């Protein structure tokens, strides 16, 4: 059956399908009778995913930062689908870096944008010829962070803001061919991303210079608690998968899908409140300090001596 329930089964590629949202999307589409090509980076992840799915699901090795890997996956999938092409592409692969921008490792920023932005465009470029064969649709997995920036998540939010722009541009560019492009904007979702976020905070604690700890230690402690709170209220990743399925199959799909009450509330507040008022609200929600921490005793002594010398 095709997207309308007749003919051969529609086919879709889902990148970043090893865990979390990508896995949920792959399994939901598989359950709907689609042929799913699930992008993973390790063979064992593909084996684990295949054990949960039907024989229609095919794991495919895809590293979105490696053009050779992308091209190899495209060629394999093209041979499988032939002239039927693809009905959908779900761009989900991504990573998350955080920390105070003042002390952010520039290589981390490059990696953030390379995976979450450049890699998504590279995958879309590779599969667009197959999508054109079937008037296929593209669904980009964004985040409420693509609308609402939060402190110490600047790199991640920047990448998701960029995907909002990429989605809008691509949707308008592909409109003459009736190829729809949508973005999904989840809030807190119960996925392994929170474990990775905790690991990032622990890495920052170990790697940030002393000056960064002096400036930001109370804020980073509050951020760690906010991560724990967000993880506890996370909703199932299948909620995102339902939105993806609608974007791929609905007669009149949306351009944006907010998923989760927290995402909807953040989007509404950011629209209604002036910037400085919204900044203050976010800082209170995160429990961030309103004043800088006092300087350490040795810094006070150094300043006293310097003043006396002057």
- Quickly count: other Cβ atoms within 10 Å of residue 120's Cβ: 28
The pair phi, psi for residue 32, each rounded to 5°, is -85, 0
Is-contact 85 93, C-beta < 8 A? no
**Spatial distance between the Cα atoms of 138 and 136, rounded to a whole number of angstroms:** 7
- Greatest CA span in the chain, whole angstroms? 86
58 bridge partner residues = 37
Crossing angle of helices 210-232 and 193-207, rounded to 10°: 170
Is-contact 25 91, C-beta < 8 A? no
**Residue among 26, 95, 9 nearest 244 (CA):** 26
Check 156, 215, 216, 257 and give the catalytic one.
Answer: 156
Sort residue 63 into left (φ over 0), alpha (ψ -120 to 50) or beta. Answer: beta
Is 216 noted as a catalytic residue in this protein? no
Is-contact 27 45, C-beta < 8 A? no
Q: Tell me, rounded to whole angstroms, the distance of Cα 105 from its chain centroid.
A: 20
Is-contact 149 161, C-beta < 8 A? yes
Is-contact 153 145, C-beta < 8 A? yes
* Sign of the torsion formed by the C-alpha atoms of 61, 166, 168 and 270: positive
DSSP string computed for 49-63? HHHTS-TT-EEEE--
Is-contact 152 99, C-beta < 8 A? yes
| Catalytic residue list | 156
């Amino acid at each position: 059956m095709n997207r309308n329930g007749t003919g051969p089964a529609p086919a879709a590629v889902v990148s970043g399908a090893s865990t979390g949202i990508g896995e949920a999307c792959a399994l939901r589409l598989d359950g709907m009778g689609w042929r799913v090509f699930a992008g993973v980076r390790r063979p064992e992840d593909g084996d684990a995913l295949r054990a949960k799915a039907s024989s229609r699901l095919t794991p495919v090795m895809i590293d979105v930062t490696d053009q050779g890997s992308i091209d190899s996956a495209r060629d394999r999938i093209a041979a499988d689908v032939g002239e039927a092409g693809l009905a959908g592409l779900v761009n989900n692969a991504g990573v998350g870096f955080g920390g105070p921008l003042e002390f952010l490792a520039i290589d981390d920023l490059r990696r953030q944008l390379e995976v979450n932005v450049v890699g998504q465009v590279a995958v879309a470029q590779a599969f667009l010829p197959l999508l054109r064969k079937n008037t296929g649709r593209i669904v980009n997995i964004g985040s409420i962070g693509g609308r609402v920036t939060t402190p110490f998540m600047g790199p991640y939010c920047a990448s998701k803001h960029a995907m909002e722009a990429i989605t809008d541009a691509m949707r308008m560019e592909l409109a003459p061919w009736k190829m729809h492009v949508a973005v999904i904007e989840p809030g807190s979702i119960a996925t392994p991303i929170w474990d990775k976020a905790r690991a990032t905070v622990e890495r920052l604690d170990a790697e940030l210079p002393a000056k960064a700890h002096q400036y930001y230690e109370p804020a980073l402690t509050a951020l760690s608690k906010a991560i724990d709170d967000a993880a506890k209220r996370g909703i199932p990743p299948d909620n995102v998968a339902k939105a993806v399925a609608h974007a791929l199959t609905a007669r009149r799909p949306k351009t944006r899908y907010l998923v989760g009450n927290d995402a909807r509330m953040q989007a509404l507040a950011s629209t209604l409140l002036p910037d400085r008022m919204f900044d203050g609200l976010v800082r209170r929600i995160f429990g961030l300090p309103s004043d800088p921490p006092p300087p350490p005793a040795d810094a006070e002594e150094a300043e006293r001596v310097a003043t006396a010398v002057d």
